[in-house]
Structure formats: C-alpha cells, structure tokens
Chain A
Amino acid sequence: MSDYVTLREPYAVSGQQRDADFLGMYLFLGAEGMMFGALFCLAFAYRTVHPQASALAARHMQLWIATANTAILLTSSLFVALAVHAARNGARRVTAAMLGVALALGLAFLGLKGVEYGIDYRDGLMPVIGHPAAVREGPAGLFIDLYFVVTALHALHLTIGLFLLAWTAAVVLARRKRIPAQAVVVEMTGLYWHFVDVVWVFVFPIFYLARG
C-alpha cells in the first residue's frame, strides 16, 4: 500500500497514516449515518403507528423516477470506484474522466429530482400555500413531510458531493494533487460519494417502496 502514500507528520510509517485517513473518514460518515438513521427511525415509527396512511402517502410518490435515480446513483458509484482504481495506477486523465462521468450522472439525478419535486408540487403534496391534496390531511401528511425533509437533506449532501467530484477532477487534472502519491484525495472523495449513494439505497425502500 505504501506506493501511493505521501508521508506527513506525525506519522512514522505510511500504513499508520493510511489507517488514520480511512478511520477518520469512516468516523465522520458514521456520524452522518446516525443523523440519517434518526430520520429513518422516525419514518419506521410513522409506518408502525399509521400503516395505512403511510402506504397511501407512498403511493403518491414517483416510484419510477426514484427507481431511475437509484440506478443512476449506483452507476455513478461504479465510475467513482473506477476513478479510484485509475488514481491508484497513476492514470491522471482516466481518473478525471471517470470523475467527470460520475459528476454528469449526479447532475442527472438532481435534474430528475427537480422534475419529481415539480410533479409533487403540481399534485399538491408539498407543504406550501396553494391547493393541498386530500392525501396531505391527517397522518399521511406527516409521512409526506418527512419524505421532503429526508430527500432535501440527501440532495444537499449530493450537491456537496458534486462540488467535491468537480474539485477532485480539477486538481488531479491540473497536477495540483499528484497521483498515485496523493491518491488518498480521490479515495476520500470517493468514500463521501459512496456514502451519499448508501443513504439513497435506504431512502428508496423506506419511502417509495412503503406502498403496502
């Protein structure tokens, strides 16, 4: 592993520094997982207390857009993984190209999410002044509001991920970060992006597939 590590203070050996890099990032992502996990816990509580209302709310969500978005995000993760592989082999242009494809897929996800929110608005699902749908009355409204909170928080994380992908691709291409010596930059960006993917992997069944 030592061939793609640039040793820094206070580490004496590259293996120890590498362990610390990954350990710190896993710890941060674990904290993020706790945050999303608390919201998922609330969703499960709604589903337990109001099973019919939650299923009714889920049936008003755009399952096929969400399915397409799941496929898009899983595919973007493959390209980020390929970028890390290329970075470890010192393939500068390939790394940037793979990150670029992942970036484009991430933008496609956000675009589809925007279309979906548009449909949600038109259908009266959004908690805004206008013509609220009948389904928003009662406990189903709770489940719909939570869906907006979780998907918006996920979209925010995804947007941060897009900036990270763009920045990583730029610094690798411009040789500001040298690969494979500083491949850890690509690896850590990758960890964040995959984590955003994992969150969506749970959003999908907990909200969209809760159709009863």
Chain B
Amino acid sequence: MARPVITLVGVWVALMVLLATTVGATFSPFGAWKPVINLAVAFAKAGLIFWVFMHVREQRGLARLVAVAFLAWLAILLGLTQADLLTR
C-alpha cells in the first residue's frame, strides 16, 4: 500500500481505539472523571479528523487558523455560560 493510504488507515484504527476507550470509560468506576475522559476523547477524535482527513496539515497558516477559529468563540460561549451557572 502507498504511504498516504497507510496513514489514512492508521488514523481510522486510532479513531476506533478512541471510540472503544470512551465507551469503556463510561462503564468504568471513574465517577466524576467520566465526562472529562469522554470529552477529551471527542477532542482527540475531532483533532485527528481535522488534521488528517480534513487536510488541515496540508494548509499554511491562514487556512489553518480559519479552520479552528470558531473554537475560540465557542470557548467564550461555553466558558461564560458555565461561569454564570456555577456561580449563582
């Protein structure tokens, strides 16, 4: 197989392992850490998909920045919403 194909299949294997990890963690006795693990796995999966499948790694600075800029605004939205709810 050509090298790029091996990379793509490798990413898929990693995604499947991450899926097994997150489902496994749900039935683990980690309690309050479960949401943290589940979200960390989701970001790891999304990161792999963005970086390789969505070609962000092939881009130069500006396009890379545009691809992930929405996360900054979402962080403000989520952060301030939770800050409000948790400090009432």
Q: Would B70 and A19 count as touching, CB distance under 8 A?
A: no
Chain B min CB distance to A119 (Å)? 19
Query: Interface digits, B2-45 against A, CB 8 Å rule (1 contact, 0 not)?
Result: 10110011011001100100110010000000110011011001
Cα separation A96 to B65 with both chains bound (whole Å) = 31
Cα separation A195 to B9 with both chains bound (whole Å) = 18
Chain A min CB distance to B57 (Å)? 12
Interface size on B, residues (CB 8 A): 45
The chain A residue with its CB closest to the CB of B71 is A33
Residues of A within 8 A of B59 (CB): 19, 22
Q: Would B19 and A67 count as touching, CB distance under 8 A?
A: yes
| A75-B12 CB under 8 A given contacts A37-B77, A44-B82 | yes
**A153 interface hit (Cβ, 8 Å):** no
**A128 interface hit (Cβ, 8 Å):** no
| A49-B85 CB under 8 A given contacts A19-B62, A85-B4, A202-B46 | yes
Q: Which B residues from 49 to 84 make CB contacts under 8 A with A?
A: 49-50, 52-55, 58-60, 62-63, 66-67, 69-71, 73-74, 77-78, 81-82
**A82 interface hit (Cβ, 8 Å):** yes
Task: Pick the interface stretch among A103-111, A135-143, A186-194.
Answer: A186-194
**A211 interface hit (Cβ, 8 Å):** yes
| A191-B16 CB under 8 A given contacts A41-B78, A81-B8, A202-B46 | no
Cα separation A198 to B5 with both chains bound (whole Å) = 21
The B contact surface, by secondary structure, is helix
Q: Would B55 and A22 count as touching, CB distance under 8 A?
A: yes
| Interface-central residue, A1, A31, A75, A205, by most chain B CB under 10 Å | A205
**A156 interface hit (Cβ, 8 Å):** no
Q: Would B62 and A191 count as touching, CB distance under 8 A?
A: no
Instruction: Please report B residues at the A interface, Cβ cutoff 8 Å.
Output: 2, 4-5, 8-9, 11-12, 15-16, 19, 22-23, 26, 34-35, 38-39, 41-42, 45-46, 49-50, 52-55, 58-60, 62-63, 66-67, 69-71, 73-74, 77-78, 81-82, 85-86
30 A–B contacts from the bound complex (CB under 8 Å)? A19-B59, A22-B59, A26-B66, A27-B66, A33-B74, A38-B77, A41-B74, A41-B78, A44-B81, A45-B85, A48-B85, A48-B86, A63-B23, A71-B16, A80-B53, A81-B11, A81-B52, A82-B8, A85-B2, A85-B4, A197-B53, A198-B46, A201-B42, A201-B49, A202-B46, A204-B22, A205-B42, A209-B23, A209-B34, A210-B35
Instruction: Please report A residues at the B interface, Cβ cutoff 8 Å.
Output: 1, 19, 22-23, 26-27, 29-31, 33-34, 37-38, 40-41, 44-45, 47-49, 63, 67, 70-71, 74-75, 77-78, 80-82, 85, 187, 190-191, 194-195, 197-198, 201-202, 204-206, 209-211
